A = this chain, B = another copy of it.
Amino acid sequence: MRQSKLFGQTIKEVPKDETSINAQLLLRGGFVDKSMAGVYTYLPLGLRVLNKIENIIREEINAIGGQEILMPALQNKEDWKITGRWDIDVMMKVKTFFDKEYGLGWTHEEVVTPLAKKYIKSYKDFPFYLYQIQTKFRSEKRAKSGILRGREFSMKDLYSFHTNEEDLNKFYDLAKEAYFKIFERVGVKNKTYLTFASGGDFSKYSHEFQTLSSAGEDTIYICDKCKIAINKEIVENNQPECPQCKNKNLKEEKAIETGNIFKLKTKFTEAFNFKFLDEKGKENLVLMGCYGLGLTRLMGTIVEIFNDQNGIIWPESIAPYKVHLVHLGNETEVIEEAEKIYNALQKEKIEVLYDDRKESAGVKFKDSDLIGIPLRIVVSEKTLKKNSVEVKKRSKDEFDIIEIDKLIDFIKKN
């Protein structure tokens, strides 16, 4: 992509009410635009990042047997009355001119449970796992953390269905592993802790995935021995204690809840009377688990973690492009060589943003650091004399001088 044509250039000033690091850097870098409080447009660069996160999540959820579907945002009022959640504050309510009323989905148990009930009757059809990657809506009174907590946001929600608790527990552990694979691939695994949180009526605990960040709204206590954590909300007045090893020497940290998994058991299947026939022809309630992961929140978390005073430092797996090609100076031979390299990279299917603008070196370097693409290649008269270009990682200070003939090989190895 030629940067001169890219919609969503870097900007210098961001709205004053955007105080979070993720909002400031994503707005300044031209990744998102603020449409309203808590509501963002994803510009071309931002959408590329979001799509990469989406594909990683899809691959890992498919790998544990998840089947992708797409449920609607418009939700049936009557189904939410059944579970008693129609009048919860977070629900946005929709009205048509002919006075039909809908809920706007912030979660999908009230859709997926009746859906599964329609198609599945026999124990032979279990277990099965349905998920979607879809837009959710929440009435957040104060939307002030950028894309960490939006009123409209993208989420992966997975629901599992089982005939017995052992099977639910088995898949629950598999889902945990899949989550850590996702966090590993996007670069935040070493900052993410499986965290014990409130289990509601049906389980002692639910589990959150809490990623350490000063921008986090949650406080957790980490057990360094077990590498797990406990959410402050369930500690109450007691001294926090590791739920596994009972260690009381825990470290308090701020963290962002990037995922949440929950053994719902029969909470929703009872409400919708979703039963299966067992081997003996007897009816039993189906057991459920649910597994949420916010895509836009994860993107915001990554920005909160990977940045310096000059801008974002994208992990390569989710960077909008792998290479930022920049030419300095507008001499014919410089531009010709840059164009040649641009074409060669495209031919090799190496994702490249090409800064072909006639701007000063200062502007170009500043924008390049702000956008945060992993590898920067600079074409200038100085190095061209040696048939070379300058190659620098965004995450490092030093750079290499690489012969143009060896450039593609060098990039493939880096």
Mark A residues whose CB is within 8 Å of B: 5-9, 11, 30, 33, 35-36, 39-44, 47, 50, 65, 67-74, 76, 89, 91-98, 100, 102, 104, 111, 115-116, 118-119, 128, 130, 135, 137, 139, 141, 151-152
Contacts and interface: CB of A to CB of B under 8 A. Distances in A.
- Copy number of this protein in the oligomer? 2
B76 A36 contact: yes
A151 B74 contact: yes
Contact of A7 (B42, B43, B128): B128
Nearest to A38: B74
A34 B11 CA distance: 45
A223 B171 CA distance: 61
- The 6 nearest A-B residue pairs measured at CB: A96-B139, A42-B70, A89-B97, A39-B72, A41-B71, A44-B67
Contacts of A44: 67-69
A119 B8 CA distance: 6
Of the listed residues A42, A50, A74, the one surrounded by the most CB atoms of chain B closer than 10 A to its CB is A74
Contacts of A11: 119
Contacts of A118: 33
Contacts of A91: 97
B36 A119 contact: no
B74 A50 contact: no
Contacts of A115: 33, 35, 41
A388 to B, nearest CB: 32
A92 B95 contact: yes
A7 B119 contact: yes
Nearest to A112: B41
A95 B151 CA distance: 12
A30 B89 CA distance: 35
B41 A72 contact: yes
Given A44-B67, A69-B43, A76 B35 contact: yes
Contact of A97 (B33, B71, B98, B139): B139
